Amino acid sequence: MKKTILLVVLLTLVAFVSGAIAQGKPATTPAPAAPASTKPVKLEKFSGEVKSVDGMAKSIVVAKAKEEKTFAVTTDTKITKGKEALKFDDLKAGMNVVIEHKKEMDKMIAVTIKVSAPKAAPKAK
């Protein structure tokens, strides 16, 4: 009886080992390429004056005339003033900005924020 059990165990082991050797390396299939029909993200521009900066939500509110828009600022957002790079913490209310943004779901994500110098007040005569 012991010899029969040993024989069955050995045959099972040989079957598994030979199956693993016969299989060899798993065939790698190339990853599917991104669909060719994806459209490039269209960036829109909005310019105005910064009304408020929310550090917790990482967002800014920009107003122009009677229109106000809220933009989310990410770690990928480039913030500049001329050739100088700025940080999110450098944005203050009252700054004039031009924002290039994209829409993701119901949010407007700022891609670039360009800060410009405030317009000089007209000189009194």
* CA contacts within 13 A on the Cβ side of 54: 12
Domain boundaries, the chain: 44-116
CA distances (Å), origin 36, targets 33, 40, 114, 122: 8, 11, 32, 53
pTM for the structure as a whole: 0.62
Tell me, what's the pLDDT at 91? 92
Name which CATH class applies to 44-116: mainly beta
CA distance 7 to 99: 77
Tell me, what's the pLDDT at 120? 58
Tell me, what's the pLDDT at 30? 63
- pLDDT < 70 positions in the chain: 19-39, 118-125
